[in-house]
Chains A and B, each alone.
Chain A
Amino acid sequence: DQQVKQNSPSLSVQEGRISILNCDYTNSMFDYFLWYKKYPAEGPTFLISISSIKDKNEDGRFTVFLNKSAKHLSLHIVPSQPGDSAVYFCAASAALSGWGKLQFGAGTQVVVTP
């Protein structure tokens, strides 16, 4: 039973434009959400996170939006750069189910074209 879903396996975007990655979750107890970026044959790198008490968090080119009523979050990358080509994972955890127990989505492959 997958509690975190990334329904778009891939996304192609032109350099300089906005990349929007989406993530849906089913567990209403999730209260902490993260985005990771992963290159082939490497471990995921933490990008940005958001707590359920917020609806937006920004860090440079990366912004995460959280819509709790829709159980949906999104990652915006503006402007997209060639180095952003990677797989992006959404993850979530619930304090009540135990610290550190992250549930991951299946990932979205982003390709930034010139």
Chain B
Amino acid sequence: DGGITQSPKYLFRKEGQNVTLSCEQNLNHDAMYWYRQDPGQGLRLIYYSQIVNDFQKGDIAEGYSVSREKKESFPLTVTSAQKNPTAFYLCASSLIQGSNQPQHFGDGTRLSIL
């Protein structure tokens, strides 16, 4: 079955620690995205990538970093510079050929501070 796999489902971070969230897709999608969801709010775009070795900042990139070394993988690192990291993180992917391709989401990682 094709899909997007995020791991782990739950993650705890200590103060001053960097943590990395995994996102893998086997849909052969070109583009991948990271969003953050806070309670009572919509999703906000952190980073996105159209092709391997290229990525762009979204609306709230400060305190986060990404890499895109493989088409299938787009890991997100939450650095110690992110002062309010507690949130639900969602990874998505989409085709980019043609226009107006919907994004498809993984099941998310919930990050909490110890």
Most buried by A among B40, B100, B103, B105: B100
**Beta-carbon contact of B58 and A101 below 8 Å:** yes
Q: Give chain B residues whose Cβ lies under 8 Å from the Cβ of A46.
A: 102-104
**Beta-carbon contact of B33 and A43 below 8 Å:** no
Q: Give chain A residues whose Cβ lies under 8 Å from the Cβ of B44.
A: 104
Interface residues of A in 78-114 (CB under 8 A from B): 89, 91, 95, 98-107
Provide the bound-state CA to CA distance between A4 and B92, in Å: 19
Q: Give chain B residues whose Cβ lies under 8 Å from the Cβ of A4.
A: 42
Q: Give chain B residues whose Cβ lies under 8 Å from the Cβ of A107.
A: 42
Contact of B42 (CB < 8 Å), options: A45, A100, A105: A105
**Beta-carbon contact of B31 and A99 below 8 Å:** yes
Q: Give chain B residues whose Cβ lies under 8 Å from the Cβ of A9.
A: 40
Contact of A104 (CB < 8 Å), options: B6, B43, B102: B43
**Beta-carbon contact of A34 and B102 below 8 Å:** yes
Provide the bound-state CA to CA distance between A98 and B90, in Å: 20
**Beta-carbon contact of B107 and A51 below 8 Å:** no
Contact of B100 (CB < 8 Å), options: A6, A51, A89: A51
Q: Residue B22 at the A interface, CB < 8 A? A: no
Q: Report how many A-B pairs have Cβ atoms within 8 Å.
A: 63
Chain A interface extent, by class? 20 to 34
Contact of B48 (CB < 8 Å), options: A34, A89, A100: A100
Q: Residue B4 at the A interface, CB < 8 A? A: yes
Give the nearest-CB partner of A93 in chain B.
B100
B residues adjacent to A (C-beta < 8 A): 4, 6, 31, 33, 35, 40-45, 48, 50, 56, 58, 90, 92, 94, 96, 99-100, 102-108, 110
Identify 16 residue pairs between A and B in the complex whose beta-carbon atoms are under 8 Å apart, listed by A's number.
Answer: A2-B42, A4-B42, A41-B110, A42-B108, A43-B106, A43-B107, A43-B108, A44-B90, A49-B100, A51-B100, A91-B42, A99-B31, A100-B94, A100-B103, A106-B40, A107-B42
A residues adjacent to B (C-beta < 8 A): 2, 4, 6, 9, 32, 34, 36, 41-46, 49, 51, 89, 91, 95, 98-107
